[in-house]
Every structure is written in structure tokens, then in C-alpha cells.
Chain A
Amino acid sequence: QAQLVESGGGVVQPGGSLRLSCAASGFKFSIYGIHWVRQSPGKGLEWVAALSYNGGSTYYADSVKDRFTISRDNSNNVAYLQMSSLRSDDTAVYFCAKDWEQGLTLDSWGQGTLVAVSS
């Protein structure tokens, strides 16, 4: 069955950068889109970014556009979220998730990695 494991979270100062990784296994990684969704402490879900199966198309929430970059390495079954110019309101648990044949719904999710932006 599909498994997604995030890593790379931690504490970073405002204005800093961080790269999250999402390691995939148990499914054919190269044929599905990958998404990042975040959840601030005690708050709801916010979709952040998406990348098509072949990396040819990227999509971002306005709140992270021009600061975050999503990418993937299909040969190693891993996706990334490069985050820069981090702000306190970027503090959240970041989940990676995959879509599937039924459109842009997210049928498998990782356990999440916490990013805390604080001085």
C-alpha cells in the first residue's frame, strides 16, 4: 500500500529557508501528482502546492507563491518542498499527499513534519 514519509522539518528563524522531503513507497510514484498541505497549530487544513506526475506543471497557494518551490525526483521516488523567506505564519505541520485516478483528491497522506518559524 502507498506510504509517504516526510522529513526535514525543524525550527528556523524568520527569513530563513528549509527543504522538506517526502519519500514515497508502495505505489508507482511517477504516475501521480504530489501535493503539500499544511496545518497551523489548532487550525484547519491549507493546501500549499502541487506538482504533476512528470513535474511539468506546478501550482501554488497565493500565500506561498514566489517563496516556496515544489519539485520531484521520479527516479528516487521523492518529492520536495523548498521553502524560503519563511515567516511566523508558515509555522505548521506540513503533510505531503498523493492524488489518484479520481482527480485531485488526496487518497494517501504522510504523517506530517513540523516547521516552526521563530527567533
Chain B
Amino acid sequence: AIRMTQSPSSLSASPGDRVTITCRASQDLRGYLAWYQQKPGQAPKLLIYKTSTLQSGVPSRFSGSVSGTDSTLTITSLQSEDFATYYCQQYWSYPLTFGGGTKVEIK
């Protein structure tokens, strides 16, 4: 199974800050990497697929990129509604695997 190592596991930030979350895959994903946002008591929500394509309705302050096996989710100018936990997911092969999650908290 492809292993997804996400970092950091948590971070504290202020509204307006730029936040970066990284996900390292144990092998090349050929771009088949997605990001989800989950708020307490809710189901995850798809934000980005194919490394950098925003799902419909997702604000443009969210972006994704990749360098080798390291994928990055960036949130520019953090808004109050962005405080949540973020997960990466590879879909290059079964079994699908998620990163361990990054909780973004208010500083």
C-alpha cells in the first residue's frame, strides 16, 4: 500500500496568515492526489483533485502543487471558516490511502 505522510499534524495560525501543509507519498502518484477539509461533526469535503484542480465552489485562496512525491496544500489569507482538519488522499492505486491529517487551529 502507498503510504501518505502528512505534516505538520497540527498548526496554529491567525486569520490572514498563509498556511502550507505537506503530504509525502511513498511512491510517485502521477498527480493522483486529492485534498479534503473536515470540520468537527461533519463529513469530509473534497477541496482539490489531480494535485491542483479546485473542486467547484472552493475559494481560490486554496491551491495545490507537487514536487516529486511531495504534494502541498496552501491556503493564502486564512479565513475563520478555514479552521478545520485537512487530509490528503492518493488515488493512484488501491487500497486508497489518506494522510494522517493536519488540524489548523486558531492562534
- List A residues at the B interface (Cβ < 8 Å): 35, 37, 44-47, 50, 59-62, 95, 97, 102-107, 109-112
Contacts and interface: CB of A to CB of B under 8 A. Distances in A.
B3 interface: no
A109 B44 contact: yes
Contact of A59 (B43, B46, B95, B99): B95
A59 B95 CA distance: 7
Interface in B7-59: 32, 34, 36, 38, 42-46, 49-50, 53, 55
Main secondary structure of the interface of B (DSSP, over half): loop
A105 B91 contact: yes
Contacts of B96: 35, 47, 50, 104
Central interface residue in A46, A97, A105, A106, by most chain B CB within 10 Å: A105
Given A102-B50, A105-B34, A45 B44 contact: yes
Interface in B34-86: 34, 36, 38, 42-46, 49-50, 53, 55
A86 B103 CA distance: 30
How many interface residues does chain B have, given as a range?
20 to 34
A92 to B, nearest CB: 13
8 contacts: A45-B89, A46-B98, A47-B95, A47-B97, A106-B36, A106-B46, A109-B43, A109-B45
A103 B44 contact: no
A107 B94 contact: no
Contacts of A61: 95
A112 to B, nearest CB: 6
B96 to A, nearest CB: 4
A102 B95 contact: no
